[in-house]
Amino acid sequence: MNPDHDPSQEAWNHAARGYLAYWSPRFEPYLRRAVDAFRPAPLGPLAVEGCGPGDEILLIARKFPERAIMATDQSPAMVELARRRARDAGLASVLVAEDQAGQVAGRIRQAGGVFSSFVLQLLPNPMGAVADWSRALRRDGSITVLFWPRHTGSSAFSRLQRILEKLEDQRPQWEEPVLEALYRLGLRVGLDELVSFDMEHGSPEECWQQLLDSGPLRAVERRIGKDRLAQAASEWLDDHGFERRGNAWVHRPEARLWVLERSDRD
């Protein structure tokens, strides 16, 4: 773990238990689709990067019960939750450690597969992370990565992202550059698809509060300040993009799912 102070790590420590309670059930359909697409090599350990409270660990261990799984997250609170859940599930072949998501090759060689969900878009250097994951793979291995793309449609999350960018919380243009660089990274695309499911909230205000208390907005607040984030809240709540269905407010956010294979794979 990087010993330097990391404000985003502190934010995710704060969010950990709330994330498990609120966001994990809402993200489960996305994770199930990504785990279904995960086709690692028959041999070698499986790396799970940015595992959060361990939702994907449980799903992957259920799909591959005999495989060694080495999972990491940079947040000590998330690691504690993931370890406890793996232990409670009796998963003796799972190791959860505190580490950065883009540093697999230094820990694992000849990995059968690398799995990452909703983390790549948060990393300061997504290209470097994918390059590292490629170096960790055995020849017949693959990478499955699920992430929130920069802009898709007019869902509530996409609208919020555009507002934050206007307030100078810029995200790098990294998706297409990574795809263009795959060949020199020793990779090729096996799958590239958008994944969307209905997601319900009690109200737009509830969703905002959960994004702040148990999601990514705590880290955003540390970058742009409370005043700008309050401005973003006001603008977003005026035009959030949710659809009212009975007592629920619903949107359909789109995630992007990549399966990347070694380019020298038979």
Q: The pTM is what?
A: 0.93
Structure tokens at 29: 């359909």
Structure tokens at 236: 């977003």
pLDDT greater than 90 at residue 232: yes
The fold of the 7-150+170-198+253-262 domain, in CATH, is: Rossmann fold (3.40.50)
Handedness of CA 35, 181, 119, 169 (dihedral sign): negative
**Confidence band of 171 (pLDDT split at 50, 70, 90):** confident
What is the rounded average pLDDT of the residues 189-210?
97
- What pLDDT does 130 receive? 97
**Confidence band of 170 (pLDDT split at 50, 70, 90):** confident
**% of the chain surpassing 90 pLDDT:** 82
Distance CA 208, CA 117 (A): 21
- Beta carbons of 233 and 126 less than 8 angstroms apart: no
- What pLDDT does 7 receive? 61
- What pLDDT does 1 receive? 36
pLDDT greater than 80 at residue 4: no
Angle between helices 217-224 and 204-214 (to 10 degrees): 70
Residue type, 116: S
- Beta carbons of 119 and 143 less than 8 angstroms apart: no
> Average pLDDT over the chain, rounded to whole?
93
Residue ranges of domains in the chain: 7-150+170-198+253-262
- Beta carbons of 178 and 265 less than 8 angstroms apart: no
Cβ neighbours of residue 231 under 8 Å, at least 6 residues apart? 167
Residue type, 218: R
Model pLDDT for residues 127-165, shown as the tens digit of each residue: 999 999 999 999 999 999 999 998 766 789 999 999 998
The secondary structure of 220-243 as a DSSP string is: HHHHH-HHHHHHHHHHHHHS---E
